[in-house]
Amino acid sequence: MRKKVVAGNWKCNTSVQEGVELAKAVNELVAKEGAEDVVVVLGTPFTHITSVVDAVDTNRVGVSAQNCAAEASGAYTGEVSAAMVKSTGAEYVILGHSERREYYGETSDILNKKVALTLENGLTPIYCCGEALDIREAGTQKAYVINQLEETIFNLSAEDFKKLIIAYEPIWAIGTGKTATTEQAQEMHKDIRDAIAAKYSQEVADEISILYGGSAKPSNAPELFANPDVDGGLIGGASLKAEDFLGIINAY
């Protein structure tokens, strides 16, 4: 049975102190009222990870980085390696977010290296894919997203591939308040799962959690999560409020 996952992406928000307070509030709410069968992850800035790991019950609330270096170590000023992330106690790394692809020039070659290093260090990549509005309007979103997978993660062995979490995030829905319809989400999630089945096997495809990301909130999460191929969400804005995040965790 594949896991249901609700992962927050705090992006470049909160001071360390605010982040720790938010993490503690999520931790407390999840312990009291959180759906027990949902894996909860907090994607914090690098500076916050160690403090957030200390502030939560990591058996219940996992912690994620939002990026890692494409190199293992060395003279790369300002970079944070996958091994460093691992040493904090975090278990996940968000990779290939559209904001990193667009603003920081993350190419498929760079992502290949990051995915490999993340896996080598025993971390779970939360691998993001998704199309921009012009591609959706041209109706070529399926080919575009499958090509992203082919260029970045379909080179992995089946054994490694099974360790991934995939997040489908239509760029036109991220932070815009515009959510994909439940049909659009289900259609793309099924296309992704079918492509995994064709590349690997149905068994591998059935094991992979595919999350939806893009203006998800407590009010629309139940409808999105009711789709058979939507296994949870990667949540930006709504993960910055503990109550809203809990509402999404409990949307199943």
Active site residues: 97, 169
Instruction: Tell me the two tokens of residue 11.
Output: 């992006």
Residue 106 sits in the site that holds ligand PEP (CB under 6 A): no
Q: Where are the alpha helices (DSSP H) in 34-140?
A: 49-55, 82-88, 98-103, 108-120, 133-138
Shortest Å distance, C-beta 197 to ligand PEP: 25
Residue 185 amino acid letter: A
Q: Would you say 68 and 35 are in contact if contact means Cβ atoms under 8 Å apart? A: no
Question: Quick one: which segment of 21-29, 80-88, 113-121, 214-222 binds ligand PEP (CB under 6 A)?
Answer: 214-222
CA 156 to chain centre: 18
Residue 214 sits in the site that holds ligand PEP (CB under 6 A): yes
Residue 8 sits in the site that holds ligand PEP (CB under 6 A): no
Residue 240 sits in the site that holds ligand PEP (CB under 6 A): no
Residue 170 sits in the site that holds ligand PEP (CB under 6 A): no
**Applying CB under 6 A, which of residues 207, 213, 230, 251 lies at the interface with ligand PEP?**
213
**Applying CB under 6 A, which of residues 153, 234, 248, 251 lies at the interface with ligand PEP?**
234
Residue 215 sits in the site that holds ligand PEP (CB under 6 A): yes
Residue 216 sits in the site that holds ligand PEP (CB under 6 A): yes
CA-nearest of 154, 143, 151, 152 to 199 is 154
Orientation of helix 16-33 relative to helix 242-249, angle to 10°: 40
Q: What are phi and psi of 92, to 5 degrees?
A: -130, 160
Shortest Å distance, C-beta 30 to ligand PEP: 19
**DSSP characters for 111-150?**
HHHHHHHHHHTTPEEEEEE---HHHHHHT-HHHHHHHHHH
Q: Which residues, 68 to 97, sit near ligand PEP by CB under 6 A? A: none
Question: Quick one: which segment of 30-38, 78-86, 158-166, 233-241 binds ligand PEP (CB under 6 A)?
Answer: 233-241
Residue ranges that bind ligand PEP, judged by CB under 6 A: 9, 169, 174-175, 213-216, 234-238
